[in-house]
Structure 1
Amino acid sequence: MEIVVGSGKLRIQDIDKLKSLINSNFGIINPECVCGYFHLKQAAFLADNAHNGNYNLSKDRSTEVLLYLTSQRQISKAIKIGGIDKDTKSVAWVSFGKPPLDFLDMIEIDDSIISENSFDYSTLNLDKSIVDNMSFEEKQKIVMTKTATLSVQPR
């Protein structure tokens, strides 16, 4: 199954219509919790592996991606951090297989939406003075490590 990820600006204001497209193999995510293309792709890959290996925390691959992206074990917390709401203007998405055709009409693809530069590094729970003095590569390593270690965190 092909994993497709991306981001874009919304062409519509009807968030409920957008949310209606979410299913077990297609997730729409707040791009502020995504630290670049590789972070999104890694979370999708890890979620897929978790489902294939039967160590998933969620019954849906799309929700599993959200858990990995937000480094959360509780779905409600992950949705609060990475979900979309009425104020959403842009999104990131993950599709296990082809994205819904309707979805591609609702967005304008823009890969800069999930730029590492717009990621909220305060979610790393590190002292701001430490984060401010870190290089991009150091920050990226921490984000990717937190994402990868979700499956081995104690329940």
Structure 2
Amino acid sequence: MDNITDNIKILGFTSEIDDVSRTLKDIDKLKDQCCDGVVIQLIDAKGIGGKRHVLQGTIQAIKAFQRGTNLANDLGIELCIRISAQRQISKALKVLGLHEGKMDICVVMIDCPDYFVDELNDMFSRNDDVFKPDIEYLKGLYNISDKQFESMYIEDILIDKTTNLTVEI
């Protein structure tokens, strides 16, 4: 891969999740249609600061695997760790994991064929408005002080947290 971002797609959706386990099995079936190495990671879009935040965390996850400094054995889970700036998988999933009910979903796809987008459009409703951050929610979720927020945009604060996680490892 010449440019690490060439094979990354970040898409926004909304959906009513009736059964998280069934939804994840449907995603696994979609991945099984293709070759090994494809990643489709669904995350709670409410826990992200925007597309740049997700892209930065995704790049950090891929680089962690390349360096052998990954914290998870699965790249999709590593994405959650990096994007959420958490060291523990359980905490990362608490921040970014799916839940039942109506939710905004960010989908990160790595090395997936273009037709996967059509398949996801059949499963969920496309909505890139999910990338607009809920600033007050994010400040509470990530323990961001008003003082921090005065000097930086929320997305930049979260990118900084993602980068700091990498530096600390």
Aligned to 1:124: 142
What is the Cα deviation at residue 100 of structure 1? 7.2
Aligned to 2:124: 107
Q: 1:125 to 1:89 in 2, by over 3 A?
A: closer
What is the Cα deviation at residue 104 of structure 1? 3.1
Aligned to 1:66: 80
Q: 1:123 to 1:41 in 2, by over 3 A?
A: same
Aligned to 2:160: 145
CA contact (8 A) 1:56 1:64 kept: yes
Segments of 4+ moved more than 2 angstroms: 11-17, 87-90, 99-104, 116-119, 137-141
Structure 2 unpaired stretches of 5+: 2-6, 32-37
Aligned to 2:34: none
Structure 1 unpaired stretches of 5+: none
Q: Deviations 1:35-90 (Å, cap 9, x if unpaired)?
A: 01111111111111111121111111111110011110100111111100112422
Aligned to 2:21: 16
Q: Deviations 1:3-35 (Å, cap 9, x if unpaired)?
A: 111111126644332222257722110111110
> What's the TM-score once normalised by structure 1's chain length?
0.83
Q: Among residues 22, 27, 30, which one is paired with 2:44 in the alignment?
A: 30
RMSD: 2.4
Matched residues, number: 151
Q: 1:141 to 1:75 in 2, by over 3 A?
A: same
Percent identity of equivalent pairs: 23
CA contact (8 A) 1:6 1:111 kept: yes
The one-letter code sitting in structure 1 at the alignment partner of 2:77 is T
Aligned to 1:87: 101
CA contact (8 A) 2:50 2:155 kept: no
What is the Cα deviation at residue 121 of structure 1? 1.8
CA contact (8 A) 1:12 1:107 kept: no
Aligned to 2:55: 41
